[in-house]
């Protein structure tokens, strides 16, 4: 457990966390859509913030991050991960129904 040494370190940790989440979302969305511009616009729309604000977050060019934006970033990441887990679980079930086995290629 990390215990902040002063009141100023906690907001820095929260800001750093928000930047990391924004970068993670950006990387995942770019991989999915194939275009940086389209991915960032999509994420900005999902977060209900301007694209410039989102780009500044990704680049770490912010002095502070509002709690509402940080909460939306966290909620979006959780939602995206849950959707990916559901998709992969479905694919796994389909593969199992088709006769695929985890030890198919094992010797």
Q: Look over the chain and give the mean of its residue pLDDT values, rounded to a whole number.
A: 86
Query: Is 67 a member of any domain?
Result: yes
Phi, psi of 6 (to 5 degrees): -150, 170
Domain that holds residue 66: 12-96
Band of pLDDT at residue 106, cut at 50, 70 and 90: low
| Burial class for 43, CB neighbours closer than 10 Å (0-12, 13-18, 19+) | buried
Q: List pLDDT tens digits, range 40-89.
A: 999 999 999 999 999 999 999 988 888 999 999 999 999 999 999 999 99
Mean pLDDT of 17-45: 95
Query: Is 103 a member of any domain?
Result: no
Query: Is 106 a member of any domain?
Result: no
52 is written with which tokens? 């410039």
- Residue 91: the pLDDT is 95
């Amino acid at each position: 457990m990390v215990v902040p040494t002063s009141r100023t370190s906690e907001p820095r940790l929260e800001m750093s966390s928000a930047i990391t989440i924004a970068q993670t979302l950006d990387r995942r969305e770019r991989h999915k859509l194939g275009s940086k511009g389209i991915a960032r616009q999509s994420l900005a729309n999902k977060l209900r913030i301007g694209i410039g604000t989102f780009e500044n977050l990704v680049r770490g060019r912010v002095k502070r991050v509002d709690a509402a934006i940080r909460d939306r970033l966290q909620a979006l990441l959780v939602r995206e991960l849950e959707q990916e887990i559901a998709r992969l679980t479905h694919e796994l079930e389909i593969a199992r129904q088709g006769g695929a086995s985890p030890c198919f290629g094992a010797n």
